[in-house]
Amino acid sequence: MSVAANFWNYNSGGLFGSTSNNSGSGLNSLYGVLSDRSAIKNGSYQRLLKTYYRSGQSSSTASSSKNSSSSSNMLDRIFEEKRNPKVSKDVQEANANLTSGLSTLRTTVSTLQKDDTYTDTADGKSAGDKVVSAVKAYVTDYNNVVNAAKGSTLTNKTAYVANMMGSTAANADKLAEIGITVDSSGTLELDETKLKSASISKVQELFSAKDITSYGSTIASRLRFAGAAVSSNTTTGSTGTDNKAGTSAAGLKTDSKALASDELYAKVKDKDGNETYDVNKIFTTAKSFVSNYNHMFDTGESSSNSGVLANLSYIREKTARNADALKQFGIEVNDQGRLKIDEHVFKQSDMSKVQAFFKDYGSSIATNASLVDYYTTTQANATNGYTSDGTYNVQGSSRYADTM
């Protein structure tokens, strides 16, 4: 079993609760977190419990009244616990340590991504000494976050810690080359002697900020998203911010599908009667794609909606993997993951190759953009929870199906 997979199976206080007795219990715990808050607020949770306990009571027996009273007391206790959950001191400490630890680790990763960490300074500090110090700090801070996450109930943060651990496991061989190994508990161990003998350039490449697919960039991305997730009961961020991200995501979805369609590349006749592509029309769509892409990230990265953040991360990574292909068409990806289009280069490109590229890349981006739109609108409304008859109100399911 992988390190990341092990992390999901810690007992009480873990990511989504213990899964040792019931394979679905972890998922059920998360499902409850997403719905209970609003259901309690609008009273439907209490109605659901009453419906459940009424259906379980036996009728016309001598013990019926006693059972009813017992069930009523149990209902009151459950409802009170849902309204005012008791959090142990250990869990409170783990939550506080995780929140502060994520901030500290983010600073540590930033140090490893700065160019001046890998250069000698006038005060006599060598690049080698600075790199060793930065890596040692990273290992310590990383372990603090992992250990705190194991006892935390902040699921919007611990989910990204688990993702971070998965990325670390996937890069275990590269980390081993600079003296960092991953143990069975998911924490890191450092061989300082091996680190000192490793090439400084190898450390810099591993944590490169210029390559958004590097290990360091991936960890930085997860930390940024985890830091934006304010609490375990929060599923949406600022309504205004999410609405803007949703609008741009919807536009990006439309542009992506258009750039992958046959209609956009239909031949037209030029002034000499020759059939050719309507390059201006295609460029206008590509320019809109770039604009909506950048605006979606500008507004969406401050969201606290984990669904939004996850899909933005997927889009960033897909774009990074296709950076060279995009550049051939005059679309460049900067260090912040934003796009810039060169009109001249784009219009000089072979439009048949542009279409072939966007049939794959564009269709994939459209799927995630649609999910960003979904999580900023429909999914936010879906947390209204249970209806008065005790059934769960799942809104927008047909809209979600359109992305599959």
How far apart (Å, rounded) are the C-alpha atoms in residues 226 and 240? 20
pLDDT of residue 209: 85
Q: For helices 44-56 and 25-42, give the axis angle rounded to 10 degrees.
A: 120
Q: What does DSSP say about strands 275-276 and 188-190: parallel, antiparallel, or unpaired?
A: unpaired
* CA-wise closest residue to 256 among 229, 222, 227, 292: 292
The Cα–Cα gap between 233 and 87 comes to 14
DSSP state of 126: -
pLDDT at 198: 94
pTM: 0.54
**What's the rounded Cα separation, in Å, for the pair 209 and 117?**
13
Q: What are the residue boundaries of the structural domains of the chain, listed by start?
A: 33-86, 89-228, 239-401
Half-sphere exposure of 121 (CA within 13 A, CB side): 10
pLDDT at 70 (0 to 100): 61
Q: Quick check: 213 and 271 in contact, CB under 8 A?
A: no
296, containing H or E segment:
helix 279-300
pLDDT value at residue 78: 63
Token digits of residue 302: 């401050």
**What distance in Å separates the CA atoms of residue 146 and residue 401, rounded to the nearest whole number?**
35
Q: pLDDT at position 401, please?
A: 34
Closest CA to 376 of 318, 304, 313, 290: 304
Pair 42, 385: CB distance under 8 Å:
yes
How many other C-beta atoms can be found within 10 angstroms of the C-beta atom of residue 6?
A: 15
DSSP assignment string, 357-394: HHHHHHHHHHHHHHHHHHHHTHHHHHTT-B-TTS-B--
Q: Which residues contact 31 (CB under 8 A, 6 or more apart)?
A: none
Question: Which residues 6+ apart lie within 8 Å of 383 measured at CB?
Answer: 34, 35, 37, 38, 235, 236
Amino acid, res. 76: D
Matching residue, tokens 């999910």: 371
User: What are the pLDDT tens digits along the chain (404 aa)?
Assistant: 444 434 434 333 333 333 334 434 443 443 344 344 445 555 655 665 555 555 555 444 545 555 556 656 666 666 666 566 667 888 889 899 999 999 999 999 999 999 999 998 877 789 999 999 999 999 999 999 999 999 888 887 888 888 889 889 999 999 999 999 999 889 999 999 999 999 999 999 999 987 777 899 889 888 887 775 443 333 334 455 556 777 889 999 999 999 999 999 999 988 888 899 999 999 999 999 999 999 999 888 777 677 787 888 889 889 999 999 999 999 999 878 899 999 999 999 999 999 999 999 999 999 999 998 888 876 544 333 333 333 333 333 333 333 33
3 state DSSP class of 269: strand
Map residue 276 onto helix, strand or coil: strand
| pLDDT for res 210 | 79
